[in-house]
Amino acid sequence: MTAPRYVIGIDLGTTNSAAAFADLDAAIAGEAPHVAVFRVAQVVAEGEVAALDTLPSFQLLLTPEERASRRFALPWAPAPDGSVGVLARDLGALVPDRLVASAKSWLCHDAVDRRAPILPWGTDDTAVRRSPVEASSAYLAHIRDAWNQTRAGGAAGAAHRIELQDVVLTVPASFDEEARELTVEAARAAGFDRLTLVEEPTAALYAWIAAHQHALSHHLHEGDLVLVCDVGGGTTDFTLVRVGARDGAMEFERTAVGEHLLLGGDNLDLAVARHVEEKLGRPRLTRSQQHSLRRQCAQVKERLLGPPPIPRATVSLLGSGRGLVAGAMSCELTRDEVLHLLLEGFLPGCGPDAVPTSLRPSGLRELGLPFASDTAVTRHLAAFLRDAGPTGAPLRPDAVLFNAGSSRQARHGSASPR
């Protein structure tokens, strides 16, 4: 087998996916190779393709007319069956019965057949459904085709095709064995045979270590306990890692992993949407209006929390049917309101003996998925630290690493131990 030229890392996320790579041939002797972000080409507007740092994990299932129109054409697929990325996410809010979303959350939902065509959930049109495995494979196949188009074009670049490279794919630490196997199945279907799975909290710690390799002893010491808090778009992962030493070099051992929590940025989007509905007087919304509102709230949340943050923004919602314009609704949402929802609902202060509640919050209304009943990440963390302790007393980490997009929003971009 030909030696790979690249190592490619892929973060298959609930709401966004991303890829990075290292050129092994360009590595300086004795030094780790430079890691660069791979910008993924995708349709960002009808007839317009752009390469971006992230690929939204959404697939819009296209009609025959849309395929024939070439409005969703890609350099490698002039008439695709589905569109993945920015435009899929944005247009899909208007046609939710053809929008596949949250595939990663469904991939670990053991109460459904994850190989069965069940997505989009709730649609009556069985002809356009995809399974969670198929949807996950579609995102990976999009990254594959984008890579091969830009970095392996022509006969001379055939050896650079992604199928011939070493691929590292991240999964939540709390994924059970079946969810991991299904992830591998999705990757194999996309053509990734040289595959390694790495748990997301571990990958985050590796990335931090690589960025601070010349000053590790300043931040970490033998015997330290590192807590990795990975709060992403759809899941929350807690992991404890013990720092050790062997032959003068640091080594790291994972000592505890939290339970699988479907809790993250998606839940905050739902809570913000529920808050906006309250401000609008609880109108009766169609399925399309609900999806449009949720997507708008996600965009507004990101703008309000920054960076850079803005003080207020307007959420507008079109009417339905003949009342498209006359039935339009809008309201103003402030940064303080979103911060209140975030801090009080998801990051409230609590003591080490706090216990997650079993009441289901009104903001978690996504049908089908078993979201965590308590949205307070802090209470789940308190329970994890108690359960991980040998005597039931809560452990006290020496360092904390915050990872993923939700953590950056909550902490305005800071993420480092100590």
Instruction: Give the pLDDT of residue 150.
Output: 93
Whether pLDDT at 367 is above 80: no
Final residue in a domain of this structure, among 142, 173, 193: 193
Question: Cα dist. 238→169, 201, 256, 260, 276 in Å?
Answer: 19, 8, 8, 9, 31
In whole angstroms, give the CA distance from residue 41 to residue 59.
15
Residues 100 and 204 in one domain: no
**279-305 pLDDT tens trace:** 999 998 888 888 889 888 998 999 999
Residues 16 and 123 in one domain: yes
Residue with tokens 């015997």: 223
Residues 258 and 270 in one domain: no
Residue 350 located in a structural domain: no
Instruction: Give the pLDDT of residue 322.
Output: 53
Instruction: Give the pLDDT of residue 236.
Output: 93
Residues 312 and 384 in one domain: no
Residues 177 and 42 in one domain: yes
Pairing of strands 195-199, 166-171: parallel
DSSP 24: G
Residue with tokens 């706090």: 354
Q: What is the pTM of this model?
A: 0.89
Domain enclosing residue 320, as ranges: 265-345
Whether pLDDT at 316 is above 50: yes
**369-388 pLDDT tens trace:** 888 989 999 999 999 999 99
CA max distance for the chain: 74
User: For the residues of 242-310, what is the DSSP string, one character each?
Assistant: EEEEETTEEEEEEEEEPPPB--SHHHHHHHHHHHHHHHTT-----HHHHHHHHHHHHHHHHHHH-SSP-
CATH of the domain at 224: 3.30.420.40
In whole angstroms, give the CA distance from residue 218 to residue 94.
51
Question: Cα dist. 378→231, 329, 345, 347 in Å?
Answer: 11, 35, 10, 6
Structure tokens at 325: 């314009």
Residue 101 located in a structural domain: yes
Residues 29 and 171 in one domain: yes
In whole angstroms, give the CA distance from residue 297 to residue 271.
9
Instruction: Give the pLDDT of residue 81.
Output: 93
Residue 354 located in a structural domain: no
Residue 417 located in a structural domain: no
H or E element, residue 315: strand 312-317
What is the number of domains present in the chain?
A: 3
